[in-house]
Amino acid sequence: MEKRVVVIGTGNVATHLTEALLSAGLPVAMLFSRTPRHAAEAGQRFQLPYTSDWSELPSDAGYYIYSVSDTALPEVLERKLAPEAIHLHTAGSIGMDVFGATKPRHGVLYPLQTFSKNKALNFKDVPLFIEASSPEVLGELNQLASLLSTKVRTISTAQRRQLHLAAVYACNFVNHLYALSAELIRQEDIPFEVLLPLITETAAKVKEMAPMEAQTGPAVRNDKTVMRQQMEWIDDLHIRELYRLLSESIVRLTKSND
């Protein structure tokens, strides 16, 4: 595994991926961002060559990993570049047809995790979901992915899309509920920290029991008195509407599983 890797993109995913590649001892040939400042920052962070000029990218690397926004991806892939190499994207919701005919050896390396540049994490524990244009490319991709993480799994585009969607609920929306709860107690001068044991335990419980079994609170008891009262205490119309809809959803799911 001495093929060199080029990483295109310098966002949260690209940053953690670059770190994982280096930790695994893989040669990262160059980092790319369309924005010169971002390219320079990434290059300095990792002490690696960087560019924002397509013509400066090496054409003889083994892997080109495109970790850019879903919107930018099709445009970025229009560049004719290293037709022999393996080209990979990291997006949850985008199929393999995005690569087109000029990049016949391609695949997807989708890490199921929430990445922020300044929050360290152990990439070895990040589930990596792979898909490739041929069994031969899949074999190579599997080797590469297994150097980065102990949790590699082959899935279809349809499965990956659904997984990405589930991640929006289990991570992005969950984090937003943390943000709203912080807002709610800030009004009463209570610091967010007091909620941390509850947040930790809520996440820990579903390691031991299914989420349906772990459900507590007024809605799962269908306690209309508490729900009505709590809704009255919410000043913000938008937050109140979320209370109503989420409570209804809990009541509905509980009934359908009775």
Please give the backbone phi and psi of residue 133, each rounded to the nearest 5 degrees, phi first: -70, -20
Beta carbon of residue 11, minimum distance to a copy of itself (angstroms, whole number): 10
Amino acid at position 16, single letter: H
Beta carbon of residue 31, minimum distance to a copy of itself (angstroms, whole number): 21
Beta carbon of residue 85, minimum distance to a copy of itself (angstroms, whole number): 27
- When the beta carbons of 44 and 172 are compared against a copy of itself, the nearer one is 172
- When the beta carbons of 1 and 177 are compared against a copy of itself, the nearer one is 177
Beta carbon of residue 46, minimum distance to a copy of itself (angstroms, whole number): 21
Q: 61-120: which residues touch a copy of itself (CB under 8 A)?
A: 69-71, 93, 112-116, 118-119
Q: 222-241: which residues touch a copy of itself (CB under 8 A)?
A: 223, 225-226, 229-230, 233-234, 238-239, 241
Among 53, 56, 136, 213, binds a copy of itself (CB under 8 A): 213
Closest CA to 251 of 209, 204, 218: 218
Q: Are strands 128-132 and 106-111 parallel, antiparallel or unpaired?
A: antiparallel
Q: Which token pair is 38?
A: 């971002």
Please give the backbone phi and psi of residue 7, each rounded to the nearest 5 degrees, phi first: -110, 120
Beta carbon of residue 67, minimum distance to a copy of itself (angstroms, whole number): 14
d(CA 244, CA 246): 6
Taking residues 17 to 36 in sequence order and writing x for each that binds a copy of itself by CB under 8 A, - otherwise, the string is: --------------------
Among 29, 196, 255, 258, binds a copy of itself (CB under 8 A): 196
Q: 149-188: which residues touch a copy of itself (CB under 8 A)?
A: 151, 153, 155, 158-159, 161-185, 187-188
Site size toward a copy of itself (CB under 8 A) is: 98
Residue 199 neighbours by CB under 8 Å, 6+ apart: 178
DSSP annotation of 32 reads E
DSSP annotation of 229 reads H
- CB-based contact 127:112 (threshold 8 Å): yes
Among 60, 80, 139, 245, binds a copy of itself (CB under 8 A): 245
User: DSSP string of 45-78?
Assistant: HHT--EES-GGGS-S--SEEEE---TTTHHHHHT
Beta carbon of residue 26, minimum distance to a copy of itself (angstroms, whole number): 22
Taking residues 121 to 150 in sequence order and writing x for each that binds a copy of itself by CB under 8 A, - otherwise, the string is: x---xxx-----------------------
| Sheet with 50-51, edge to edge strand ranges | 50-51, 28-32, 5-8, 63-66, 86-89, 106-111, 128-132, 152-154
